[in-house]
Structure 1
Amino acid sequence: MATTLEFAEFVQETGSDDLSADVRDALKRRLLDSVGIALAAEVADPPQAVYETVTDLEGDGPCTLWRRGERASPVQAAMHNTALVRYLDYMDSYLAPGETPHPSDNIGAVVAAGEYADASGEELLAGLAVAYEIQGELAWNAPVRDRGFDHVTHTVISAAAGASKLLGLDLEATRNAIAIAATGHNALRVTRTGGITEWKGLASANAVRNAVYAAMLAKNGVTGPRNVFEGQKGWQDVVAGPFEVDLTPGERVHDVMTKRYVAETYAQSAVEGIIELAEQQDLDPDDVTAIKLETFAGAKLIIGGGEGNRYEVASRAQADHSLPYMLAAALLDRDLSLAQYEPERIRRNDVQDLLRIVDVTEDPDLTERFENGEMPAVIDVTMDDGTTYRVEKDAFRGHPTNPIRWEGLEAKFETVTEDRVDAERRDEIREVIRSLEDRDVADLTALLA
């Protein structure tokens, strides 16, 4: 059975020297991807509301609010910056059979703690490795979705661990930080069921805010239930059930996927497939009479109608969690990027009509294939004349079996930031991240201000 001490010891024992060259490279790619997405999200309404809330609550602080002119405490900076990373639903995902969290949710917290502590780039990499590893291990070994808890219940633990690393907490303080975070902040799955609201895109920001606050409390001597995982009425009794972990120096980062499209994780293969089919067959959307997607259980449950109506789509938060909308928009526009989530695009009759003929069903064979590491999808598009075109996908570009390397990630970074950041600063951000071992966290945050 996993213990609180086991997690705390892992945080203490994992340093930058323990990270392989491949892990370091993968973590830098995760950082570049997340920073680019954050820069693109600055004008979105919910992150703007977070910014206004943060600046209403406190004045100047030691940490950068990315893309703003103000600074704040590490707690509020973690909240604000994570909202930017997460809101567009373009972030990374960890693929486990029973849970699909977003390890990039940890980045805002770890960077804020690192900026507060005047940490080096080497220390930042160690903290990110800790957070990504714990997030992945919890997703794989202790899924909580079917028990009614949201995956950010894992994030508060992994972010508290990563923040503790950057703050330089000793073993007992780290144990207390994890204990406080895991005891007090277990989020409900209702966030992603029924009618999707804006909280879906902000839940992880709230989780990492709580994580950094827990670490700061522990830094200043507050103790928590030191047996939070293994104790009576503890996390394993109440939240997850018994589980074990096998923690490595960041190797779980290699199981993280990059989103090629602005879409919920489980939609990636299906979206790629329908765009390929539309382009190859030059499909006329006006002649389409039916779209059928066969998919795996998780996709059907979360974005295919298993946890609420996915045909009533009126907002961005609803659109990026609706397979019918995503497939209809992708077929119409031959793309699924930021433009497909503009309010006027969502409301347009062509996509609203087409999404209603999308049928999503679960295939048990595809579920088994997903649990064995694929992300399968089978799509049939039927035309007015009775012709049916089919595409079958095992995975997508960006899946761990077909990862996007530096060239592809830098292209994505350029695409999402070119209207927000000048070319010179974009180059500087890339260079700092690529050479992080020779930099300080402040070198990066200065460029993100």
Structure 2
Amino acid sequence: MTTTGEIADFALDVSYDDLSEETRDALKRRVLDSVGIAVGAMGSETTEKIRTTVESMNDDGACRLWGSDRRASPPDAAMLNTALVRYLDYMDSYLAPGETPHPSDNVAAIVACGELVDASGEELLTAIGVAYEVQGELGYAAPVRDKGWDHVTHTVVSATAGAATILGLERDAFRNAVGIAATAHNALRVTRTGGINEWKGVASANAARNAVYSVLLARDGLEGPVDVFEGQKGWKQVVSGEFEVEYTPAERVHDVMAKKYVAETYAQSAIEAVIELTAEEDIDPTAIDAIRLDTFAGAKLIIGGGEGSRYEVETKAQADHSLPYMLAVAALDGEVTEAQYDTDRIREDDVQRLLRTVEVEEDPALTERFEAGEMPAVVELDVDGETHRIEKDAFPGHPRESMTWDQLEGKFEATTRDRYDDAHRDRLVDTVRTLDESDVSELVALLD
């Protein structure tokens, strides 16, 4: 079974010395990916709405609001900065068979709490490792999607664990923090079903804010239901069902994927397949008559039409949750970046015509392969009476093909080039690569 005590005992027992060199390196890469994506999201319409709200409530505070010189309280900084990490839908993902949480949703909350106590880089990486482990274990052992709960239901628990770790909460306060967070902040799956709107990209930021607030309440002595998981009408009875987990020092970070394309997690291999096939066969995309995708159950359910039509696409929130749109624009443009989510691009006739030719079907054999660790996709393009076919089982960034530092730095350069010059970008990369020799304040000072 899992209890608040087991989470606290695991987190309190982990030290930086327990992390292997490979794990430390993986955690640094997760930090670089997260802050690079956040920089790319600065100035976007949705995140600016959140910035307006947060700034209106904060004249000053302990934590920097990334992308400005303004400061705010730790919960409000966690809200905005997590939204920046999450909004582009370019964040990392943990590929469990029945759930796909995004562990990078934890990073900004832990950074904010690290600012509050002037934490070292080693302390930051250790706390992020705790959060990744808790979120990965919950996603694997206690999926909640099919029960009607959103995956950020896990995030509020994992972010609480990471925030409590970096703030140095003692065991009783740690348990109270998890109890408060896991009792009060369970999110409904309706966020990602039917018509999709802006909240899809903001729900995890709200979870991060709630996590930090729960930890601060517990730090100041507020008690919470420490039997939240096993208690009567608790998390296991109401939210998840029975489950057991086994925490190890940050091992789950090695099972996390980085996205190559600005697109929903389950679309990555299919997009790679469409772009590769169109290029290899020298296909004129305007001549494509139909696109067919055989995929696994989760992809069909979430972005292929299983939780609502994915053919009515007019906004970014709808587009990055629609396999028909993503495959159509990938074929036409040969890439899927932020530019493919401009409103004018989304509504152009060529992509609107082609997306309506896309057929998405679940293949049980591909579902079995996904549950065994692949991300399979079989794509067929009908062009002038001919059918072109390609099959993929992964993509660059999948845990089987992890991104190297060079690849991640290339992604980082692409998301930050409009804001930072080469010298500033190099300082940020160097700070992350040597984070165990730096502190949180040095990292945050560069996120202006």
Per the normalisation by structure 1, the TM-score is 0.99
Write the distance in 2 (CA, Å) between the matches of 1:220 and 1:61.
18
| 8 Å Cα contact 2:58-2:71 kept in structure 1 | no
Alignment of 1:314-353 (within 5 A): 314-353=314-353
Residue 4 (structure 2) aligns with: 4
How many aligned positions are there?
Answer: 448
Residue in 2 that maps onto 1:444: 443
CA distance in 2, matches of 1:260, 1:430: 19
Instruction: Give 1:226's aligned residue.
Output: 226
Whether contact under 8 Å (2:269, 2:394) holds in the other structure is: yes
Aligned residue in 2 for 1:237:
237
| Contact 1:4/1:230, CA 8 A, preserved across alignment | no
CA–CA separation in structure 1 for the residues paired with 2:289 and 2:383: 5
2: CA distance between counterparts of 1:436 and 1:48? 29
Q: Deviations over 1:246-287 (max 9, x none)?
A: 101000000000000001000000000000001011111222
1:79 maps to 79
The answer (yes or no) to whether the contact 1:27–1:125 under 8 Å persists in 2 is: yes
Tell me whether 1:32 sits opposite 2:54 in the alignment: no
Structure 2 residue aligned with 1:427: 426
Q: Map 1:138-217 to 2 at 5 A.
A: 138-217=138-217
Determine helix, strand or coil for the equivalent of 2:380: strand
Q: Which residue number corresponds to residue 264 of structure 1?
A: 264
Matched with 1:55 is 55
Q: Which amino acid aligns with 2:193?
A: T
2:139 counterpart letter in structure 1: A
Deviations 1:304-352 (A, max 9, x none): 0000110000000000000000000000000001110111100100000
Partners of 2:247 and 2:400 in 1: CA distance: 22
1:359 matched to 2:359:
yes
Aligned to 2:14: 14
Q: Name the residue aligned to 1:123.
A: 123
User: Equivalent residue of 1:448, what SS?
Assistant: coil
Q: Which runs of 5+ in 2 are unaligned?
A: none
Matching residue of 1:91: 91
Given that residues 86 and 105 in structure 2 are in contact (C-alpha distance below 8 angstroms), is that contact kept between their aligned partners in structure 1? Answer: yes
CA shift for structure 1 position 69 = 2.2
Which AA in structure 2 matches 1:189? R
Q: Contact 1:264–1:321 at 8 Å: present in 2 too?
A: yes
Equivalent position amino acid for 2:221 in 1? G
1:187-246 CA-to-partner distances (Å, cap 9, x unmatched) read: 000000000000000000000000000000000000100111111111011100111111
> Percent sequence identity over matched residues?
63
Give the superposed CA RMSD: 0.6
Shift of 1:420: 1.1
The TM-score with structure 2 as length reference comes to: 0.99
CA distance in 2, matches of 1:68, 1:197: 26
Residue by residue, what CA displacement relative to the aligned partner does 1:151-194 show, whole Å, maximum 9, x if unpaired? 00000000000000111100111111111000000000000000
CA contact (8 A) 1:152 1:187 kept: yes
Unaligned 5+ residue runs, structure 1? none
Cα distance in 2, alignment partners of residues 245 and 167 from structure 1: 24
Q: 2:110 touches 2:124 (CA, 8 Å); kept in 1? A: yes
The 8 Å contact of residues 380 and 390 in structure 1, kept in 2 or not, is answered as yes
